[in-house]
Amino acid sequence: MRISFIGAGRVAHHLAAVLSQNHQIVQIYSRSLAHAQTLAAQVSARATTNIAELEAEVDLVIIAVSDQAIAEVIQQAHAQLADVLIVHTSGSTDIQVLAKVHARAGVFYPLQTFSLEREVEWQATPLFVEATQPHDQVRLTQLANSLSSRVYQYSSAQRLSLHLAAVFACNFSNYCYDMAKQIVDAEQVDFSLLYPLILETAHKAVQHDPKQMQTGPAMRGDQNILKMHQQMLDDVHREDLKNVYNVMSQQILQSHHVEE
């Protein structure tokens, strides 16, 4: 396939790199010429900062920009690419954001966290496809199958539930790691001592029902430990961490029917 990208961020970087192994990446658009040129050079494509310069003789255009920019981008791209299949990569944006402007609209959503510093294990990454046209649905499914062994045809509402769940499972949990590191850094304690605990918790969460795997003082209803931790955070004037600690502890108490 001949594929162009609108966007040159983390998602575009990883998708363009893996797709370039078996497909031709034609153009990379970005508002930043430097970003477009950097990615274009990696996948032997041409860089542009003008959507009107995007070639219409391509099979697929992938919009990989921030969610809030998708509606504006499709308005700009439609006139130039009226007959081209255009997809976005967002988990939280309804396909209708594209479809109400562009007839051949679709979604190509990888459920993964992307960082430039780490490679993506594509075969294990769930990919979700949706299209307004049946033949485009088939083409997107075939493309997804070439990357991943886990391909799903989910609706926009289903994808949105996954995106919300991913915020809890990924973004919030990572911030918990951040807070944990702040606590031990303050006492010059090595954060890596928590690595086995972090990994074992993740392993249990993917192998069992997370609710059944819950441990800790809130799970046990141990008010003495809860109060001691709260006092420790008071002593170091970390009201922010104390607020998070209290909210999460209370939720665990309620979830497991532990009486205070």
Query: Per-residue pLDDT tens for 142-201?
Result: 999 999 999 999 998 999 999 999 999 999 999 999 999 999 999 999 999 999 999 999
The pLDDT of residue 163: 92
Tens digits of per-residue pLDDT, 61-74? 999 999 999 999 99
> What's the token pair of residue 217?
């003082």
Q: Are 130 and 154 in contact (CB under 8 A)?
A: yes
Q: Domains in the chain, ordered, with CATH?
A: 2-154 (3.40.50.720), 160-255 (1.10.1040.20)
CA dist., res. 40 & res. 37, Å (int): 5
> pLDDT, tens digit, for every residue of 193-252?
999 999 999 999 999 999 999 999 999 899 999 999 999 999 999 999 999 999 999 999
Strand 127-131, strand 105-110: pairing? antiparallel
pLDDT score recorded for residue 146: 96
| pLDDT(257) > 80 | no
The rounded Cα 210 to chain-centroid distance in angstroms is 21
Percent of the chain having pLDDT more than 90?
92
In the numeric block, which tokens belong to residue 4? 């162009």
Instruction: Give the mean pLDDT of 96-120.
Output: 94
Burial of 204: CB neighbours in 10 Å, binned 0-12, 13-18, 19+: middle
**Confidence at 256, pLDDT banded by 50, 70, 90:** confident
Range 25-44 average pLDDT = 97
Residue 260 clears pLDDT 50, i.e. is over it:
no
For residue 30, pLDDT beyond 50:
yes
Average pLDDT, the chain: 94
Task: Please tell me the predicted confidence (pLDDT) of residue 259.
Answer: 45
What does the DSSP assignment read for 113-127? Answer: ---TTS---GGGS-E
Q: What is the pLDDT of residue 159?
A: 92
Looking at the DSSP bridge assignments, the partners of residue 86 are 61, 105
pTM for the complete prediction?
Answer: 0.85
